[in-house]
């Protein structure tokens, strides 16, 4: 008869929490990188300068066309053949660049969804192009892209599990090691799945709360 060994959960929960902390740190740093690069790349995609548009487009298309696992391996092992790239650095850069390519498309779509008359009205008031973008266009676009951004960042938390292939001791790596040690795969992976679910659900609820406050503030 099937039985769930709760003693395994109680015994190794603190160990999994240590891996959870690393997952949260990597996800947070990668999110900051993704937002920064994605915003710049998204605005560059609609730039009036052909060279800037081309560079941004190449970045987005190349990164989106490569699986994240291959991308992480390339940064850690490929670039690591020429320069010393620590595993943590490779993880956050890889996840950040990968996420940034998707954020760029979200930002581009959000900005292009704003009527052109908004930009024309801002420029007629004496604002420069940059002032018009940051003070008029982007605040409106952010309202439209918040749900998509939330989905992207939740996906980033789940995608961070792949950093275990480059020897990062995150939640997934800790779980693998515990399964090898205890042979209790069902209990360990069930607890791991619950911890990932708690992270993503909490993140989703916080973003929804912020979205509601943001929308009410700009209503």
* Tokens standing for residue 39: 């915003």
What is the reported pLDDT for 183? 85
Percent of the chain scored above 90 by pLDDT?
Answer: 47
Cα 104 to Cα 14, 173, 208, distances in angstroms: 38, 30, 21
pLDDT in tens, 107-117: 998 888 888 88
Task: Give per-residue pLDDT as tens, 29-86.
Answer: 999 999 999 999 998 998 888 999 999 999 999 999 999 999 999 999 888 778 888 8
Pair of tokens at residue 158 = 């789940």
Q: What percent of the chain has pLDDT over 70?
A: 95
What 8-state DSSP symbol labels residue 67?
-
Which residues lie closer than 8 Å to 18 by C-beta, 6 or more apart? Answer: 169, 174
Give the pLDDT band of residue 215 (cuts 50, 70, 90): low
Q: Which residue has the higher pLDDT, 141 or 196?
A: 196
- Side-chain-side CA neighbours of 217 within 13 Å: the count stands at 10
What gap in Å lies between CA 129 and CA 139, rounded to an integer? 15
């Amino acid at each position: 008869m099937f039985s769930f060994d709760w003693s395994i959960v109680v015994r190794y929960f603190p160990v999994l929490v240590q891996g959870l902390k690393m997952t949260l740190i990597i996800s947070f740093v990668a999110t900051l990188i993704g937002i920064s690069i994605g915003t710049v790349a998204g605005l560059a995609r609609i730039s009036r300068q052909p060279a800037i548009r081309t560079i941004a487009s190449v970045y987005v298309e190349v990164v989106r066309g490569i699986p994240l696992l291959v991308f992480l391996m390339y940064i850690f092992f490929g670039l690591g053949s020429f320069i010393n790239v620590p595993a943590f650095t490779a993880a956050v850069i890889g996840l950040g660049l990968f996420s940034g390519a998707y954020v760029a498309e979200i930002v581009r779509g959000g900005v292009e969804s704003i009527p052109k008359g908004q930009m024309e009205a801002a420029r007629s008031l004496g604002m420069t192009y940059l002032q018009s973008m940051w003070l008029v266009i982007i605040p409106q676009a952010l309202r439209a892209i918040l749900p998509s951004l939330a989905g992207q960042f939740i996906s980033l938390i789940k995608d961070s599990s792949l950093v275990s292939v480059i020897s990062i001791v995150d939640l997934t790596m800790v779980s693998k090691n515990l399964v090898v040690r205890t042979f209790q795969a069902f209990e360990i992976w069930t607890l791991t799945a619950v911890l990932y679910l708690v992270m993503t659900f909490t993140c989703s609820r916080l973003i929804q709360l912020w979205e509601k406050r943001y929308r009410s503030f700009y209503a």
